[in-house]
Structure 1
Amino acid sequence: MKNLLLKTKYTLLTLSLLLIALLVTGCNKENNYETLDSGHNQEIGPEEKDEKIDINIAALKGPTGIGMVKIMEDAANKETSNNYNFLIAGEADEISTGLIKGEIDIAAIPCNLASVLYNKTEGQIKIMGINTLGVLYIVETGESINSIEDLKGKTIYSTGYGTTPQYTLNYLLSLYGLDPDKDLNIEYKTEATEVAALLENSHDAIAMLPQPFVTTVMMKNENVRIALDIDKEWNKQNNNGGVVTGVVVVNKDFLEKNPEAVDLFLREYKDSAEYVNKNIDKAAELVEKYGLFKAAVAKAAIPYCNITFIGGSKMKEKVEAYLNILYNQNPNSVGGALPGEDFYYIP
Structure 2
Amino acid sequence: MKRIVGVLVVMLLVLGTIGSQPVSEVQVAQPLEVQFAVMAGPTGFASVALAENGGKISDELKVNLQVFPSPNEVIARLANGELDFAALPSNLASTLYNRGLKVKLAAVIGNGMLSVLSSDGSVQGVDDLLGKTVHVPGAGSTPDQMSQLLLMQAGLEAGKDVVLDYSIAAPAQLAQMVIAGKVKLAMLPQPFVSMILGKSAKAAEVLDVQELYSSLSGFETYPMTVLVVSEAFMKNHPRALATVLSTYEKSVAWVNANPQEAGKAIEKAGIMAAAMATPAIPFCNLVFVPSSEAKQAVLAYYSFLHSFSPAAIGGSVPGDDLFF
TM-score with structure 1 length normalisation?
A: 0.79
Deviations 1:142-200 (A, max 9, x none): 22434322211222111121333222112212333332222122211222244234323
Q: How do residues 1-347 of structure 1 correspond to structure 2 at under 5 angstroms? A: 52-76=31-55, 82-120=61-99, 122-188=100-166, 189-202=168-181, 205-345=184-324
CA distance in 1, matches of 2:141, 2:47: 25
Given that 2:57 and 2:247 are in contact with CA atoms closer than 8 Å, whether structure 1 keeps it comes out as no
Superposed CA RMSD in Å reads 2.1
Question: Which amino acid letter does the alignment assign opposite residue 153 of structure 2?
Answer: L
Q: Give the structure with higher Rg (CA).
A: 1
Given that 1:142 and 1:223 are in contact with CA atoms closer than 8 Å, whether structure 2 keeps it comes out as yes
Q: Offset of 1:315 from its aligned partner? A: 1.0
Please list every run of at least 4 consecutive aligned residues from structure 1 whose deviation after the TM superposition is greater than 4 angstroms: 77-81
Deviations 1:176-229 (A, max 9, x none): 333222212221122224423432343881111111222333344332232322
Given that 1:158 and 1:208 are in contact with CA atoms closer than 8 Å, whether structure 2 keeps it comes out as yes
5+ long unaligned stretches in structure 2:
1-27
TM-score with structure 2 length normalisation?
A: 0.85
Specify the SS of the correspondent of 1:288: helix
Given that 1:149 and 1:178 are in contact with CA atoms closer than 8 Å, whether structure 2 keeps it comes out as no
Q: Offset of 1:116 from its aligned partner? A: 1.1
Closer/same/farther in 2, CA of residues 181 and 296 from structure 1, 3 Å limit: same
Given that 1:240 and 1:322 are in contact with CA atoms closer than 8 Å, whether structure 2 keeps it comes out as no
Specify the SS of the correspondent of 1:217: helix
Q: Offset of 1:56 from its aligned partner? A: 0.5
Closer/same/farther in 2, CA of residues 324 and 51 from structure 1, 3 Å limit: same
Closer/same/farther in 2, CA of residues 149 and 50 from structure 1, 3 Å limit: farther
Specify the SS of the correspondent of 2:35: strand
Given that 1:164 and 1:326 are in contact with CA atoms closer than 8 Å, whether structure 2 keeps it comes out as no
Q: Offset of 1:261 from its aligned partner? A: 0.6
Given that 1:148 and 1:173 are in contact with CA atoms closer than 8 Å, whether structure 2 keeps it comes out as no
Given that 2:33 and 2:62 are in contact with CA atoms closer than 8 Å, whether structure 1 keeps it comes out as yes
Closer/same/farther in 2, CA of residues 168 and 341 from structure 1, 3 Å limit: same
Q: Offset of 1:90 from its aligned partner? A: 0.6
CA distance in 1, matches of 2:186, 2:199: 15
Closer/same/farther in 2, CA of residues 78 and 182 from structure 1, 3 Å limit: closer
- Higher helix share goes to which structure? 1
Question: Which amino acid letter does the alignment assign opposite residue 178 of structure 1?
Answer: L
Closer/same/farther in 2, CA of residues 184 and 205 from structure 1, 3 Å limit: same
Aligned pairs, number: 296
Specify the SS of the correspondent of 1:67: helix
Q: Offset of 1:339 from its aligned partner? A: 1.5
Specify the alignment match of 1:21 in structure 2: none
Given that 2:130 and 2:161 are in contact with CA atoms closer than 8 Å, whether structure 1 keeps it comes out as yes
Specify the SS of the correspondent of 2:223: coil
